[in-house]
Amino acid sequence: MQCAKDVMTTEVVTVSPEMPVEELAALLWEKRINGAPVVDEAGRLVGVVTESDLIDQVKQLHIPTAISIFEAVIFLDRGRKIEEEVKKMVGRKVLDICTTKALSVDPETPLDKIATIMAEKHVHTLPVLEDGRLVGVVGKADIIRTLVKP
């Protein structure tokens, strides 16, 4: 059974948590990629940033619905979600807009498990970590490529 280390891309475009959002947009456009792992100076994964995170910066803010009962106001949307939306919309650095609870796999993770994670969690690319450091990424295209290779 093949695993992550057999199909992963090892030359990965990464970004710094301190990179300005404008530079991130230019990098994603220039490299024709839809996201990148966010790593610190030691090469440790901080999070993942995608085109969707950039899109969140220009979307309209969803104002929560509220009802008033006996002079009390009850918001029908969670405050934390609104706080996160606002943070992404006004973010100026990659760290402000990236997902910091990124899913990852290790080099020995079997491809069937990677495919399951991708399908269930709706992610296109998974960072591959070894001893906490980024060593590659596995994307859906990497898995599909194994299906067509003899």
Phi-psi region of 32 (alpha: psi -120 to 50; beta: other; left: phi over 0): left
Residue 67, pLDDT score: 47
- Give residue-wise pLDDT tens across range 118-134: 999 999 899 999 998 99
Chain segment 51-108, per-residue pLDDT in tens: 888 876 554 444 444 445 555 544 545 555 555 555 555 568 999 888 888 899 999 9
pLDDT tens profile 4-26? 999 999 999 999 999 998 899 89
Domains of the chain, with CATH numbers?
4-148 (3.10.580.10)
pLDDT at 72: 56
pLDDT of residue 62: 46
- Categorize the per-residue pLDDT at 43 as very low, low, confident or very high, splitting at 50, 70 and 90: confident
Q: How confident is the model at residue 113 (pLDDT cuts 50, 70, 90)?
A: very high
C-alpha 45/C-alpha 32 separation (Å) is 22
Pairing status of strand 125-130 against strand 45-50: unpaired
Give Dmax over CA atoms of the chain in angstroms. Answer: 70
Rg (CA), the chain: 18
Predicted confidence at residue 88, as pLDDT, reads 54
Distance CA 27, CA 119 (A): 27
Alpha carbon distance 148, 26 (integer Å): 33
